[in-house]
Structure 1
Amino acid sequence: MVHDWRDVPAAARGATVALGNLDGVHIGHRAVLRAAHGARPDLPLAALTFEPHPREHFRPEDPPFRLTPQPAKCAALRDAGCRVVYALPFGAELAAMGAEAFVEEVLHRGIGARHLACGADFAFGHRRGGNVALLSREAERRGIGLTVVPPVTDAEGTVSSTRIRRNLQDGYPERAAADLGRPWEIRGEVVHGDKLGRVLGWPTANLWLGRHIEPARGVYAVTVVLPDGTEVKGVANVGRRPTLGGDPQTRLEVHLFDWQGDLYGQEIGVRLHQFLRPDATFAGLEELKDAIAEDARQARRVLD
């Protein structure tokens, strides 16, 4: 991963480069990556993106909205064939850089791009003043090729990160998965909880959502990717535990089926497959215990 466009190693220069925020690395983004590679298969494939997401820079008070925080994004880009990821730090300097200067200083002199690919709505530079027409003109002047990729669409419209976020917030992880080309995953470190799940007979691994977007609160059928890469089925709750008085932050609690072990302090990935029911308040622990048992039965049915 390259963070400084002024100090790019020679081996990371001269690539064919997909441009964009690429949050989610969904099937539309992968179409741009394929176009970049297809135009110049003789060159290494790279992606240029920004960290933090420009929206986080301009609107820091917004709640978390990321589908893929930086490590997950880079992993997805590598899975899609990228040999180089330029994750440029987005701050005051890049925000103030004009579009022509961005092409010259970053794309041409900085990373030495030989070919570019982007979506038809790609905008860049100060106040998003650069569009595809400007990029085409400025790239041609410098001998850089450009492929403009039409949007990927289906019966519901255009595949986009915004649409995927909305589907997750509405409780449709399977629709999000169709647009992503894979199940949506929350990755995080397992933290200590209050051990109540163990008392109830349903021990859970607890994660904070961090910078991930918050999906619909409730219960999900999930699979869990363990640190060794093993995938285990389970049932998870995303919420603030209203029966227990409520939490200040939303957490994800996941019970792994037919598995025992210690995951504290380790990173796992929880993949959401199907929303089972909304978050609910129960009269007491016995009612909660019965609900968890039914949730587990439903999750097993879905996953089997």
Structure 2
Amino acid sequence: MPVSSSPAFIVLRGSDPLPPTLARPVLAIGNFDGVHRGHRAVFEAARSMARERGAPALALTFEPHPRTFFSPQTAPFRLTPEGAKLRQIAASGLEGAIVLPFDQALATMDAEAFVRDILVGRYGVSGIAVGFDFHFGRARAGSPTFLEGAGRRHGFAVTVVDPMRDEDDPISSTAIRKALSAGQVGHAAHMLGRPFTVTAEVRHGDKRGRTIGFPTANLALAGNIDLAFGIYAVRANTADGRRFDGVANFGRRPTFDNGAPLLEVHLFDFTGDLYGQTLEVELHAYLRPELKFEGIDALVAQIAEDARRARAVLAQL
């Protein structure tokens, strides 16, 4: 899937120079995993600053996520892998994104050097927008307060965006992951500002579904995704632009093999072959936990009930 439907959105990587049309930018800086409502408030702050200065507004983000760089075995799962993150940033109205590789050199760079050499020296920033909890530089020494002081020294404006709250708690990528692990996809969607979505290639499975009247598209999700096992009401977008309601199971299939976690999606009123194609699946409601059934008849009856409930839930959206 393309990064953006708009040809105006520009993605720069590493030390790519800014084109003249993007000179003296205002940068929204962050990891932006999930591109949730709090992140979009940072983007809007950058756009507001840019309008005041007659400057372009860009995002500056990092790949891989710093937590993946420092601790790849224990890093939390990504809400938005790089492609999905860039598509969401493009949809936010910014003019482009700069993707800096988070490597050993960047990890050991001190905060002042990052400001002096990258923000000022490489990009010539006129303004910076960050969230209240943004930190950068070796040992996370760069804070919003540090940035404000650096802006006074180097001549760029700084806006620090207060937390956006969901009831009493700040909206954060961590809070969204916690909601998804508990099956609270509606709460996660409220914090994201859209349904949580996964994208993967449809792979061949055991083809049991077609033998019981419920053929499925099988997707292997990221190995460390912490999504509650169970049944979901979903909407899926195919690579050719079609959209279908459906019901999905994410789990280990305890009735059959208790194997590796798999997302099995049954699309309502779909005919055709999706093998090898990319499917984008939106999770709209968690219907029940994954269960083990004593026989195929009980399983089929439950799937039919799950499909009925999913249709009813999705009809209300």
TM-score (norm 2): 0.92
**Match for residue 32 of structure 1?**
42
Report the Cα offset of residue 112 of structure 1.
2.4
63 and 288 in structure 1: CA distance in 2 versus 1, 3 angstrom threshold: farther
Report the Cα offset of residue 64 of structure 1.
4.8
**Match for residue 156 of structure 1?**
168
Ranges of 4+ aligned residues in structure 1 off by more than 6 Å: none
Which stretch of the first structure deviates more once superposed, 136-145 or 52-61? Answer: 136-145
**Match for residue 5 of structure 1?**
15
- Tell me, yes or no, if the aligned pair for 1:65 and 1:214 is still in contact at 8 Å: yes
- Tell me, yes or no, if the aligned pair for 1:68 and 1:212 is still in contact at 8 Å: no
| C-alpha distance after superposition, 1:62-118 (max 9, x if no partner) | 165111000000000001112211111111111000000111111112222221101
Secondary structure of the corresponding residue to residue 87 of structure 1:
strand
Report the Cα offset of residue 231 of structure 1.
2.0
- Tell me, yes or no, if the aligned pair for 2:135 and 2:142 is still in contact at 8 Å: yes
Report the Cα offset of residue 58 of structure 1.
0.8
Alignment of 1:1-304 (within 5 A): 1-5=11-15, 7-41=17-51, 42-62=54-74, 64-210=76-222, 213-247=225-259, 249-304=260-315
Distance 1:9 1:62 in 2: 38
64 and 287 in structure 1: CA distance in 2 versus 1, 3 angstrom threshold: farther
- Tell me, yes or no, if the aligned pair for 1:57 and 1:90 is still in contact at 8 Å: yes
Distance 1:97 1:152 in 2: 30
Gaps of 5+ in 2: 1-10
| C-alpha distance after superposition, 1:195-239 (max 9, x if no partner) | 111111101111111267331110000100111333210000111
- Tell me, yes or no, if the aligned pair for 1:218 and 1:238 is still in contact at 8 Å: yes
Secondary structure of the corresponding residue to residue 215 of structure 1:
coil
- Tell me, yes or no, if the aligned pair for 1:5 and 1:111 is still in contact at 8 Å: no
Distance 2:284 2:226 in 1: 15
- Tell me, yes or no, if the aligned pair for 1:218 and 1:275 is still in contact at 8 Å: yes
For 2:245, the aligned partner's letter is: K
Secondary structure of the corresponding residue to residue 124 of structure 2:
coil
- Tell me, yes or no, if the aligned pair for 2:166 and 2:191 is still in contact at 8 Å: no
For 2:313, the aligned partner's letter is: V
Which stretch of the first structure deviates more once superposed, 8-17 or 179-188? Answer: 8-17
For 2:72, the aligned partner's letter is: P
Aligned pair count reads: 303
Distance 1:63 1:294 in 2: 37
| C-alpha distance after superposition, 1:233-291 (max 9, x if no partner) | 000011111111121x3211100001112211111110001100101111122222221
Secondary structure of the corresponding residue to residue 264 of structure 1:
coil
Secondary structure of the corresponding residue to residue 219 of structure 1:
strand
Distance 1:238 1:63 in 2: 21
150 and 63 in structure 1: CA distance in 2 versus 1, 3 angstrom threshold: closer
Distance 2:285 2:274 in 1: 24
- What is the CA RMSD across the aligned residues, in angstroms? 1.5
Distance 1:25 1:63 in 2: 18
Distance 1:180 1:246 in 2: 32
TM-score (norm 1): 0.95
For 1:287, the aligned partner's letter is: A
- Tell me, yes or no, if the aligned pair for 1:221 and 1:235 is still in contact at 8 Å: yes
| C-alpha distance after superposition, 1:100-143 (max 9, x if no partner) | 01111111122222211011221100010111111111122222
| C-alpha distance after superposition, 1:119-175 (max 9, x if no partner) | 122110001011111111112222211111111113231111111110000001011
Query: Percent identity, aligned pairs only?
Result: 47
